[in-house]
């Protein structure tokens, strides 16, 4: 049974059982605890946590998930995947244990002819929490499982919580016995390779307190409404139903391996080392395409860093398989063809996806070349010192800075006849992981004690009237100070105020929150910020300017009109620039992030190269033509299907409700899903002035612009600047560029001549310096400090020339140059000195510590630097001492 058919049957089974079919959410959700959605229940967390009422009593979904806890282990086993699909059914206070067990058992055991999966009931086992007698009895009653095939397990295996205070409960897992050829008898408690878990049923019935993530926390009592959260591993069920040995041989995963076989000429299954590389490619290609499809771009932080690692491991594994041509665009096509049926956005956005992956591969190949040079230099220095081990810190630098995983460094070291200090590397990796873990733990605040907001949400959602009104009568529902509700707030207090209705826009969709005030009977509150909690509750952070405010008080909330005017211009301007981008560059130039505030906008978009001046001018002109045309702005409320039929653009990383708001500017010219505030006609945006365009990551560019009065002010400043320059040059404004260009050229010529004269002056001193050499046991030593600011290139040039002037003598030249708080140096040796064992690279360690630095190089020439220029005299003394010792010891 093909994977798409497995998914189809799952959805149909639960839809027939009254479940609302919920499409897979984006892999990116606004959850401070998660980089990516890592379980099927994550999109439903607000309902389980009570942060928002569930819009349905029962639901089903097939959720795309990514887990990246230990990327480097992927491929070493056949069970570990970073990307997988989790099919689940959920009940929000509706059915509980008996129906959850019944619905799962029916689908698993029903014949394939009747729409089920057709698993043999005699090969199925279940586990329950150790004291969950109810579940134990239900497996016998509902499924007819004999007691010997129902096993009890402890809290670490069969009890679930989110790791923070909130809902929790026992769980029950369904296992399939693959047969004696896969392991020992005795059920899941004995062997989880033979007995493979395929489904987990969580009975969310209790509330836990603070404590450990897995155990050592108190159970505070039962939940008022009991919930069901289940998850069936699609890939695991697929490999069982397809009669293959593991998930990598299933239809949707094996296709990538097949393509890798074609490209490499090698066969999967022929070599254990190669098999790991094939599996890395197959898994990471799927994860990467899905992540890029949901708006992640390669970078050096958080989600972007994870994606970059995945992509680079694909390229690296391909190179180790002998593939030299670009691979990421090719593997992306395979993933599109296999996964596009389930996730049509991969097909719709494929041009952008492929562009980003191609750009990252190009970037990495350059990085690979740079890292290889670093490795080769390190290897040469190690061999020159007579050592045979690459230090752990150097291996870690290659990994952390250049993206070289340890296996690539090991292979390169082996080819160079070296070993690697793996223990040192592992220690540094462990320290980095510990820092990352501590940082992640420090950021886990998103699901702390939300009780105060749940109480307020129980009173009803905040009614937002800001699309039509700039002022609104309201009632204070709650006042929060430092996470706790208080009855009143007085002058000088900074608190959070929740109203039953508000005209003030809460920060979202890239738009800053509104500025404004809340007033009542002598009290005035300045609104500092407005945020949404659970997407239903508007929380106003305020400073009490005067008077006193109390719960239940009637107030008036007012938006700062000037602020709103500028904010509308900024947000509508963002839509106009986005539409202009797509018109000029094509539909693949999709917005991947934005920020706007009064008079200013910033827009990130998918593109692989910088824009020419002509292209930027065209985008600016298209934007301003749209403003001049006074295009109508229309808002349409519909559902996601309706929005897709309209061709509305949904933005990456955004989460939408069932009812969505589509903002049109000029009809189909600009049509986006958006909850922001907007102008009524495009002419109200005012002029659009692009400030610049830059790169913010592989395949992502950023445009910044002013709109409205800010654009006027910017242009006025630019005009004044040109006039000032024209006055200084005593030419008309129009002649300024030509005159400046001529001055720059004259300056370039003058600097070049100065550089030539300075070089000639340096070289002219080479003979004098050679003649001034000191005799150290028969070795001519030239060691001195040059004037501050002498460049490294000049040091090398002069050092080489002085060495040449020493001719056939045994000579060592050491030149130093201070430069502010730093110092640089070069050491050069003659052939006769090298015959005495005086290698430049080996002399550096004798004096570099005096400078607080280090360096290295080859026997004839070495260089380096330090952070203590005052140590130059001590360094020269140390070098003389080392020469004296080295010559005497021969």
Q: Is 571 annotated as a binding residue?
A: yes
User: Which alpha helices (DSSP H) does 730-791 contain, by range?
Assistant: 736-764, 766-771
- Rounded CA separation 853/865 (Å): 5
Q: Residue 513 in contact with residue 31, Cβ under 8 Å?
A: no
The span from the CA of 136 to the CA of 158, in Å, is 13
Distance, in Å, from the CA atom of 784 to the CA atom of 769, rounded to the nearest integer, reads 9
Beta strands in 209-341 (DSSP E): 219-233
Beta bridge pairs of residue 604:
593, 702
Residue 506: count other Cβ atoms within 10 Å of its Cβ: 24
Q: What is the DSSP string of 448-516?
A: S--HHHHHHHHT-PPEE-TTT-SEEEEEEEEEEETTEEESEEETT-EEEEEESEE-SPPSBTTBPPPPE
CA dist., res. 768 & res. 24, Å (int):
78
575 annotated ligand-binding residue: yes
* Sheet bearing 779-785, strands edge to edge: 774-776, 779-785, 811-819, 822-829, 861-866, 853-857
Contact between 588 and 352 (Cβ < 8 Å): yes
Annotated binding-site residue? 447: no
Beta bridge partners of 673: 662
Measure Cα distances from 515 to 86, 535, 596 in Å: 43, 19, 14
Q: Which of 861, 884, 881, 872 is nearest to 804 (CA)?
A: 861
> Rounded to whole angstroms, how far apart are CA atoms 164 and 212?
8
For 520, the enclosing helix (H) or strand (E) is strand 516-520
Contact 466, 504 (CB under 8 A): yes
> Can you state the angle between helices 392-402 and 422-442, rounded to 10 degrees?
50
Taking a C-beta distance cutoff of 8 angstroms, is the pair 542, 504 a contact? no
Phi, psi of 241 (to 5 degrees): -75, -20
80 known member of a binding site: no
| CA–CA dist 368, 373 (Å, integer) | 9
Q: For the chain, what is the radius of gyration of the CA atoms?
A: 34
Q: Which residues are annotated as a binding site for Zn(2+)?
A: 571, 575, 674, 678
Q: Residues marked as binding?
A: 571, 575, 674, 678
């Amino acid at each position: 049974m093909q994977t798409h058919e497995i998914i189809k049957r799952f959805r149909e089974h639960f839809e027939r059982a009254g479940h609302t079919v919920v499409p897979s959410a984006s892999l990116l959700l606004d959850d401070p605890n998660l980089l990516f959605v890592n379980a099927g229940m994550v999109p439903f967390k607000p309902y389980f946590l009570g942060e928002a009422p569930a819009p349905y009593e029962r639901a089903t979904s097939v959720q795309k998930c990514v887990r990246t806890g230990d990327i480097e282990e992927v491929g070493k086993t056949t069970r570990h995947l970073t990307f997988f699909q989790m099919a689940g059914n959920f009940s929000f206070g509706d059915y509980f244990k008996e129906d959850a067990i019944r619905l799962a058992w029916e689908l698993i055991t029903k014949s394939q002819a009747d729409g089920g999966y057709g698993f043999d009931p005699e090969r199925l086992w279940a586990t329950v929490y150790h004291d969950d007698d109810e579940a134990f009895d239900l497996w016998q009653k509902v499924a007819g499982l004999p007691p010997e095939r129902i096993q009890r397990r402890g809290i670490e295996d069969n009890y679930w919580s989110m790791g923070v205070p909130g809902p929790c409960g026992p769980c029950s897992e369904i296992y399939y016995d693959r047969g004696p050829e896969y392991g020992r008898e005795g059920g899941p408690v004995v062997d989880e390779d033979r007995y493979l878990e395929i489904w987990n049923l969580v009975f969310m019935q209790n509330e836990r307190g603070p404590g450990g993530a897995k155990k050592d926390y108190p159970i505070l009592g039962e939940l008022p409404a009991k919930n069901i959260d289940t998850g069936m591993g699609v890939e695991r069920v697929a490999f069982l139903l397809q009669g293959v040995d593991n998930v990598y041989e299933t239809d949707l995963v094996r296709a990538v391996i097949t393509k890798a076989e074609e490209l490499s000429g090698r066969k999967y299954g022929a070599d254990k080392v190669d098999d790991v590389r094939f599996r890395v490619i197959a898994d990471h290609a799927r994860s990467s395409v899905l992540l890029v499809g949901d708006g992640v771009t390669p970078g050096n932080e958080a989600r972007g860093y994870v994606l970059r690692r995945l992509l680079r491991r694909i390229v690296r594994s391909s190179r180790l398989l002998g593939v030299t041509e670009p691979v990421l665009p090719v593997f992306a096509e395979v993933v599109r063809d296999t996964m596009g049926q389930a996730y049509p956005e991969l097909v719709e956005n494929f041009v952008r996806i492929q562009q980003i992956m191609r750009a990252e591969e190009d970037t990495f190949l350059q990085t690979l070349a740079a890292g290889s040079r670093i490795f080769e230099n390190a290897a040469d220095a190690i061999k020159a010192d007579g050592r045979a081990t690459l230090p752990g810190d150097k291996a870690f630098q290659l990994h952390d800075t250049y993206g070289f995983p340890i296996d690539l460094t090991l292979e390169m070291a082996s080819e160079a006849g070296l070993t690697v200090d793996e223990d040192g590397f592992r220690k540094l990796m462990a320290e980095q992981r510990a820092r990352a873990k501590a940082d992640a733990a420090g950021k886990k605040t998103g699901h702390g004690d939300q009780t105060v907001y749940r109480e307020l949400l129980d009173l009803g959602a905040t009614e937002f009237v800001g699309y039509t009104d700039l002022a609104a009568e309201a009632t204070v529902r709650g006042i929060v100070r430092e996470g706790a509700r208080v009855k009143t707030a007085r002058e000088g207090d900074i608190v959070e105020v929740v109203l039953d209705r508000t005209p003030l826009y809460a920060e979202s969709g890239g738009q800053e929150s509104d500025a404004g005030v809340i007033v009542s009977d002598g009290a005035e509150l300045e609104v500092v910020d407005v945020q949404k909690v659970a997407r239903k509750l508007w929380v106003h952070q305020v400073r009490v300017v005067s008077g006193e405010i109390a719960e239940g008080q009637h107030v008036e909330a007012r938006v700062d009109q000037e602020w709103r005017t500028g904010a509308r211009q900024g947000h509508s301007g963002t839509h106009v620039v986005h539409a202009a981008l797509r018109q000029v560059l094509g539909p693949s130039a999709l917005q991947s992030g934005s920020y706007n505030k009064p008079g200013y906008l910033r827009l990130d978009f998918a593109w692989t190269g910088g824009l020419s001046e002509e292209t930027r001018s065209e985008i600016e002109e298209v934007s301003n033509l749209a403003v001049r045309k006074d295009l109508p702005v229309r808002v349409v409320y519909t559902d996601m299907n309706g929005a897709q039929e309209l061709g509305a653009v949904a933005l990456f990383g955004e989460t939408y409700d069932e009812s969505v708001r589509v903002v049109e500017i000029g009809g189909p010219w600009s049509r986006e899903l958006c909850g922001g505030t907007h102008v009524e006609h495009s002419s109200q945006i005012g002029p659009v002035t692009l400030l610049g365009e830059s790169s913010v990551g592989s395949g992502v560019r950023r445009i910044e612009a002013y709109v409205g009065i800010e654009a006027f002010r910017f242009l006025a400043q630019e005009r004044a600047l040109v006039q000032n320059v024209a006055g200084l040059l005593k030419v008309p404004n129009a002649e300024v560029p030509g005159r400046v260009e001529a001055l720059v050229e004259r300056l370039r010529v003058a600097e070049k001549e100065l550089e030539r004269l300075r070089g000639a002056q340096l070289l002219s001193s080479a003979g004098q310096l050679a003649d001034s050499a000191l005799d150290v046991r028969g070795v001519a030593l030239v060691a001195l400090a040059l004037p501050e600011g002498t460049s490294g290139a000049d040091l090398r040039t002069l050092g080489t020339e002085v060495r040449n002037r020493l001719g056939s003598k045994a000579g060592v030249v050491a030149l130093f140059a201070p430069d502010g708080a730093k110092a640089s140096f070069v050491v050069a040796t003659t052939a006769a000195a090298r015959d005495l064992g005086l290698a430049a690279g080996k002399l550096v360690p004798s004096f570099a510590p005096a400078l607080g630095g280090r360096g290295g190089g080859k026997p004839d020439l070495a260089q380096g630097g330090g952070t203590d220029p005052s140590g130059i005299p001590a360094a020269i003394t140390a070098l003389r001492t080392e020469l004296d010792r080295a010559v005497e010891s021969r």
